[in-house]
Amino acid sequence: MKIRLKRLSRKQRKRLMPCIHIKVQNGHFEIVGLGAWYSYWRDPYHLLLTIPWSGFLGMIFIFYVAINTVFALAYLVGGDCIANAEPGSFLDFFFFSVQTLASIGYGAMYPKTIYANTIVTIEAMVGLMGIAVMTGLAFARFSRPTARVMFSRVAVITPHEGVPTLMFRTANQRRNTILEAQMRVYLMRDEVSAEGHFIRRFHELKLLRNQTPGFALTWLAMHVIDESSPLYGVTPELLIETHTILMVSLSGIDETVAQVVNARHSYGTHDILWNNRFVDIIHHKPNGDRYIDYKDFHDVLPLD
């Protein structure tokens, strides 16, 4: 007997659409249908931050035209209430509304009745509020602290000091330094619980170095696959079978904007190359100077 809880309101029910699908394709998850069960309209701020700039500007433009149309209609209702605007001409009233909302006020057209002045009073306040909200949104979009971190296209498993070691490379693409940078690597895979259920489980992979006081150029992440590693004894086939995914999370303080930044990357099973090693990118000149050659950043060499 299934208990349907009475206290759950109708409104909450509606928010919960039937189901979402999770597809595993090419070692990556694909989530389908989640959009359906959580409407954008319930989370407008998040939407306005998420859509690309073109969509953001488009939405502002539509809103701007719509609000001027509403006020133009309000002035139309007032009849001959705007000096030098032809009564009944929607366009005249629309342009008068624009001049008022944007607080331009050329004065070629101006309100001449109490009704028109009252609408102007309201429109002026709406204009001020609109500037306030738009400024806040533009700022929030602009200021989202982001890290520009590049991850190597593949991870490799290669012997290091005699032990097989998982490695991948990262590079800070900015000219500045990410302070107190921390890297975490998680393994996500299907496992069988004691009661025989398939469950999806996270394991954190221990790195030889998981933090650096200053991440300026490149960072080679290394996880030694010893007895304590969840990858110990694992084969490429088993990785695929258990839908294994490596999730990398890098965070630190951007030196320039002094804010915490985050970067993420994930490696599917097909992105992990066994018995390969990365091409060296740090070279020495005859005079002892070092230089980094990013051309080979993603390149690997098979072991002999």
**Cβ of residue 232: shortest distance to its own copies, in angstroms?**
21
142 touching its own copies, by CB under 8 A: yes
Answer for which of 55, 57, 62, 238 binds its own copies (CB under 8 A) is: 57
In the window 231-270, what residues touch its own copies (CB under 8 A)? 247, 249, 251, 253, 255-258, 260-262, 264
Measure the CA–CA gap between 197 and 189, rounded to whole angstroms: 13
Q: Which of 87, 146, 226, 238 binds its own copies (CB under 8 A)?
A: 146
Rounded to an integer, what distance in angstroms lies between the CA atom of residue 75 and that of residue 115? 8
User: Does the footprint of its own copies cover residue 105 (CB under 8 A)?
Assistant: yes
Q: Compute the C-alpha angle 171/155/187, nearest 5°.
A: 105
Question: Under the criterion CB under 8 A, does residue 276 sit at the interface with its own copies?
Answer: yes
Q: Is 191 in the site for its own copies (CB under 8 A)?
A: no
Work out whether 26 is an interface residue with its own copies (CB under 8 A). Answer: no
Query: What distance in Å separates the CA atoms of residue 290 and residue 236, rounded to the nearest whole number?
Result: 36
- Number of C-beta neighbours around residue 218 at 10 A: 16
Q: Which is nearer to its own copies, 80 or 293 (CB)?
A: 293
Q: Toward its own copies, which CB reaches closer, 79 or 105?
A: 105
Considering only 11, 52, 66, 106, the residue that binds its own copies (CB under 8 A) is 106
**5-24 residues near its own copies, rule: CB under 8 A:** 5, 7-8, 15-24
The answer to whether 200 and 189 have CB atoms below 8 angstroms apart is: yes
Residues facing residue 246 across a β-bridge: 187, 267
Shortest spacing between CB 194 and its own copies, in angstroms: 5
Q: Dihedral sign for Cα 271, 275, 279, 282, please.
A: positive
Q: Quick check: 102 and 127 in contact, CB under 8 A?
A: yes
Give the integer Cα–Cα distance in Å for 30 and 22.
Answer: 6
Residue 139 CB coordination number (10 Å): 10
Binding mask 109-128 toward its own copies (x if CB under 8 A, else -) reads xxxx-x--x--xx--xx-xx
Q: Point out which span in 73-81, 131-139, 223-231, 234-242 binds its own copies (CB under 8 A).
A: 131-139
Rule CB under 8 A: which of 153-182 touch its own copies?
A: 153-154, 161, 173-176, 179-180
Element (H, E) at 204: strand 198-205
